[in-house]
Amino acid sequence: MSYQIITDSCCDFTQHQYQELGVACAPLTVLYKGESHDNFSDPADVKAFYDELRGGVTASTAAVNPDGWAAPMEAALKEGRDVLVMAFSSGLSTTYQSAVIAAKELREAYPDRKIYVVDTLCAALGQGLLVWHACRQRDTGMDIDSLYAWLEEHKLNICHWVTVDDLSHLKRGGRISATTALVGTMLNIKPIIYVDNDGHLINTAKVRGRKAAMELLVNKLKETGTDFETIFIAHGDCPEDAAALEALAREKCGVKNVITGYVGPVIGAHTGPGVLVVFFMGTHR
């Protein structure tokens, strides 16, 4: 390849998926139980992480710093390849800004190489879905300049619709009040969240019960989806619910292919176990 696509670990791909797609990765950091870890994606490790959260362990996260980006970027540049970076939403992290800093420094060291940095305005497997589409375009022979333009044109077509099961984590993160969390838990209220055009998580609706929440997510897919060939679903260690959401999407929307994975620790630390998300290409967010 004449250029290297690089993303960060918030896209929640497994190591096998990175290798299969030919994508390099810069890791964010997860801090819990007094230790710092590179953000991880192996399903067994992520499941164990959610078990820790259920047991009362709290976690925090840290962005990729400029040095963290520079390592995979320079590895490609030294091989004579150009670089296209796809970074976690600037609305949720400073990871994108760090990539911009690293790119500026490396352009001075490698003036003959092209270095593009895209603020995906996406998160988790929504970011993964955009990376997946980028790799498909690359594999058709699209050059780096055209791919950068394509990403800037289409990144806001990646839709993220989320429901959260455990309100205590939203309370801890300051997204809802303690009273709202208490009442919501008593009444079995499930918030519906989406990622807006600035890459922020926005509370947009509340429904009673998990089934109603899943139906609303699929209704959003049906209303605004433009590509029912392949969608992504992510879950916070609730594979049965993810399977039920997949079945509903296939039934109501005729979805053909579903790629399912975990919501990784970077997002899961803030949403808690039981988070459930559908990602798809749509008309708008």
Query: Do residues 149 and 255 share a domain?
Result: no
Do 149 and 166 reside in the same domain of the chain?
A: no
- Token output for 42: 């192996």
Cα gap 243→251, rounded to integer Å: 12
CA–CA dist 145, 231 (Å, integer): 26
**Pick from 156, 180, 215: which residue ends a domain?**
156
CATH of the domain at 200: 3.30.1180.10
- 22 with 68, same domain: the answer is yes
Same domain, 181 and 207: yes
Same domain, 143 and 9: yes
Same domain, 19 and 86: yes
Per-residue pLDDT of the chain (285 residues; tens, 9 = 90+): 799 999 999 999 999 999 999 999 999 999 999 999 999 889 999 999 999 999 999 999 999 999 999 999 999 999 999 999 999 999 999 999 999 999 999 999 999 999 999 999 999 999 999 999 999 999 999 999 999 999 999 999 999 999 998 766 665 655 556 656 545 665 578 889 999 999 998 889 889 999 999 999 999 999 999 999 999 999 999 999 999 999 999 999 999 999 999 999 999 998 889 999 999 999 999
> What pLDDT, on the 0 to 100 scale, is given for residue 80?
96
Q: Which of 156, 183, 208 is the last residue of a domain?
A: 156
**Under 8 Å CB-to-CB from 100, ≥6 apart: which residues?**
117
Report how far apart, in Å, the C-alpha atoms of 207 and of each of 19, 203, 210, 215 are. 39, 12, 8, 10
Residue 92: the pLDDT is: 94
Which residue, of 141, 156, 171, is where some domain finishes? Answer: 156
Nearest to 221 by CA among 211, 212, 213, 231: 231
Let me know whether 110 and 199 are in one domain: no
How many H-runs (helices) and E-runs (strands) does the chain carry?
11, 13
Q: Tell me whether strands 82-87 and 115-119 are parallel, antiparallel or unpaired.
A: parallel
8 and 79 part of one domain: yes
Which residue range(s) make up the domain with 55?
Answer: 3-156
191 touches 171 (CB < 8 A): no
What distance in Å separates the CA atoms of residue 166 and residue 52, rounded to the nearest whole number? 14
Q: Residues 55, 10: one domain? A: yes
For the domain that residue 130 is a member of, what is the CATH number? 3.40.50.10170
Considering the domain architecture, whether residues 149 and 170 belong to the same structural domain is answered as: no
Whole-model pTM over 0.85: yes
* pLDDT at residue 199, rounded to an integer: 97
Q: How many domains does the chain have?
A: 2
Helix (H) or strand (E) holding 193: strand 189-195
Q: Is 218 in the same domain as 177?
A: yes
State the CB neighbour count (10 A cutoff) for residue 143: 13
Predicted pLDDT of residue 7: 98
- Residues present in the chain in total: 285
Of 224, 196, 221, 198, the closest CA to residue 276 belongs to: 221
Are both 138 and 189 inside the same structural domain? no
Kind and range of the H or E element at 67? helix 66-78
